[in-house]
Amino acid sequence: SDDALVRAVHRIMTHADGRRRLAVRTNADTGADAARARRFGAEGIGLCRTEHMFLGDRRELVERLILARVDDDRAAALAALLPLQRADFEEIFREMAGLPVTVRLIDPPLHEFLPPLEQLAVDVAVAQERGEDVAKEEALLAAVRRMHEENPMLGLRGVRLGLVIPGLFAMQVRAITEAAVAVTRAGSVARPEIMVPLVGAVQELETVRAEAEKIIAEVVGESGVEVLIGTMIEVPRAALTAGQIAEAAEFFSFGTNDLTQMGWGFSRDDVEGAFFWRYLELGIFGISPFESIDADGVGRLVRIAAEEGRAARPELKLGVCGEHGGDPDSVHFFHRVGLDYISCSPFRVPVARLEAGRAAVQTNGSDSR
Ligand code: PEP
Ligand code: MG
């Protein structure tokens, strides 16, 4: 009967949960996703992508922020964004009460936030022809031209953006910490972990960390809130210098989407429709490396970073938040490498729990670290 089936599934999940060593978190950017994932058994958020919070109504503010030529413009945009961000994070911390929440500082490919260059140029030309005053639009066009990139996924993204736009990361760090303090004062427990994206050199992380620590100390006060600071490992250079980077990070989270893109040099935006079929035909891989971890190559970068990171800082927490976190074979790989947690989309949480349990049983529950 249906009841017996539900009981059997429950028994299997309980068994898997009892055996697995990997914690299972979720990727979630909204309170609704966080709540859904919690019902599926997620034990925290491994990746909250904050760039999604800057789309919609807030795009205009972000545009102002990125294109600001004077500090006043930038400060005004940041001041308007701060309370909005604080509310975003409060909602998420409330849903994930008591569980760790990794909030990643903004990591947008710039082109997603700027008006399309070609369209803008056409609009200006048309308005000019009509004899309209286009001084403002022309200034915008010039600014967008200045920021234009042929290769945005390898451009002004992640930590690079934080290092060149004054106050952007600081605003987010403040919003995260203020939200955690507010939620804690209301009687709940917030466990924020601030994550810096696209780091390739320890100096990038140190620069962000120094500024963040000052803000955190000021905001946390006597509230008892603890804020961790860590980084994505998603640029091959970060994996290869993990020992240095661990000196400035309390945790690593492997961004296997970018690590695969940059490890193989395959564009994740195109997913290589033109030639992957041939690679499959030749057996170079049996499944796209964007779907299942390439254990020999990209996986080796993960292994190196895990080992060297832990050698430098034994208590370093290790997780993964790329798409591979919800792929069964990849889950087994991450277990073998000795990560602490995997993070995947809410609907994949039950499968990830099950596979993490199977991985532990298959190695006889022995610790493969
Ligand atoms: C990644 O690169 O694997 C990752 C989790 O970050 P994003 O997909 O947002 O680039
Ligand atoms: Mg990434």
Q: How big is the chain, counted in residues?
A: 369
Question: Among 315, 318, 362, 364, which residue's Cα sits nearest to residue 338?
Answer: 318
Residue 367 has pLDDT above 70, yes or no: no
Q: How many CA atoms lie within 13 A of 228 on its CB side?
A: 23
What are the beta bridge partners of residue 27? 47
Contact residues of ligand 1, CB 6 A cut-off: 47, 49, 107, 234, 255-258, 321-322
Summarised one tens digit per residue, pLDDT across range 32-69 is 999 999 999 999 999 999 998 998 888 888 888 888 87
Burial of 164 (0-12, 13-18, 19+ CB in 10 A): exposed
Residue 167's CB: how many other CB atoms inside 10 A? Answer: 20
Question: Is 256 labelled as part of a ligand binding site?
Answer: yes
Q: What's the confidence (pLDDT) of residue 364? A: 59
- Find the mean pLDDT for residues 15-19: 95
User: ∠ CA 16-19-22 to the nearest 5 degrees?
Assistant: 90
Residue with tokens 């972990």: 193
How far is 308 from 41, CA to CA, in rounded Å? 31
Angle between helices 349-362 and 2-19 (to 10 degrees): 60
Q: Catalytic residue positions?
A: 321
Q: How many CA atoms lie within 13 A of 131 on its CB side?
A: 0
Question: Is 278 labelled as part of a ligand binding site?
Answer: no
Say how many Å lie between the CA of residue 257 and the centre of ligand 1.
5
How far is 27 from 47, CA to CA, in rounded Å? 5
Q: In sequence order, what DSSP letters do the residues of 319-333 get, joined into one string?
A: EE-SGGGG-HHHHHH
- Counting from 1 in the atom list of ligand 1, the atom nearest the Cα of 256 is 3
How far is 234 from 33, CA to CA, in rounded Å? 24
Three-state secondary structure readout of 273-319: CCCHHHHHHCCCCCCCCCCCCCCCCHHHHHHHHHHHHHHHCCCCEEE
How far is 35 from 45, CA to CA, in rounded Å? 11
Residue nearest to ligand 1 atom 4, measured at CA: 255
Give the ligand with the smallest distance to the CA of 253.
1
Give the ligand with the smallest distance to the CA of 344.
1
Say how many Å lie between the CA of residue 255 and the centre of ligand 2.
5
Say how many Å lie between the CA of residue 197 and the centre of ligand 2.
7
Question: Is 234 labelled as part of a ligand binding site?
Answer: yes
Question: Is 255 labelled as part of a ligand binding site?
Answer: yes
pLDDT band at 116 (very low <50, low <70, confident <90, very high): confident
- Counting from 1 in the atom list of ligand 1, the atom nearest the Cα of 107 is 9
Return residues with CB closer than 5 A to ligand 2 (ion): 234, 255, 258
Decide: pTM greater than 0.90.
yes
pLDDT band at 3 (very low <50, low <70, confident <90, very high): very high
Which parts of the chain fold into alpha helices (H)? 2-19, 31-39, 59-67, 71-95, 117-129, 135-147, 158-164, 168-185, 202-220, 236-240, 242-246, 256-264, 276-281, 298-312, 328-337, 349-362
Residue nearest to ligand 1 atom 8, measured at CA: 257
Summarised one tens digit per residue, pLDDT across range 127-182 is 999 999 988 888 888 888 888 898 889 999 999 999 999 999 999 999 999 999 99
- Counting from 1 in the atom list of ligand 1, the atom nearest the Cα of 321 is 5
Say how many Å lie between the CA of residue 328 and the centre of ligand 1.
18
